[in-house]
Amino acid sequence: SQQGEEDPQALSIQEGENATMNCSYKTSINNLQWYRQNSGRGLVHLILIRSNEREKHSGRLRVTLDTSKKSSSLLITASRAADTASYFCATVINTGTASKLTFGTGTRLQVTL
């Protein structure tokens, strides 16, 4: 079962615009991670934010985390055609045997020229 949902399911923007994707989850977490997947390939880790952090940056990526609302957002600034991919949030619940990544449903981002 999925830990949460992502919104929107699909997003189409023009190159240079910003893209914002949202993720909601259900249970308390240790950390939340964002991944990118190009067309049926493996996932690439983008950024990890711990439960005691509220915001994190990496290059053109900005991630926020609101544990009171159990939600996170990923902002990609000045998007490029190469950013076209599916983006997934995933949570880690560190409770011994439950220590695994649980993925959201993903957002398909299309960046057009």
**What residues numbered 26-65 form the site for another protein, per CB under 8 A?**
30-31, 33, 35, 40-48, 50
Q: Which residues contact 28 (CB under 8 A, 6 or more apart)?
A: 51, 67, 93
The Cα 13–Cα 40 span in angstroms is: 21
The Cα 77–Cα 75 span in angstroms is: 6
Question: Total binding residues for another protein by CB under 8 A?
Answer: 30
At its nearest, how many Å lie between another protein and the CB of residue 101? 6
Q: Kindly state whether residue 78 participates in binding another protein, applying the rule CB under 8 A.
A: no
- 19 or 106, CB closer to another protein? 106
Summarize as ranges the residues that interact with another protein (CB under 8 A).
1-2, 30-31, 33, 35, 40-48, 50, 88, 90, 92, 94, 97-106
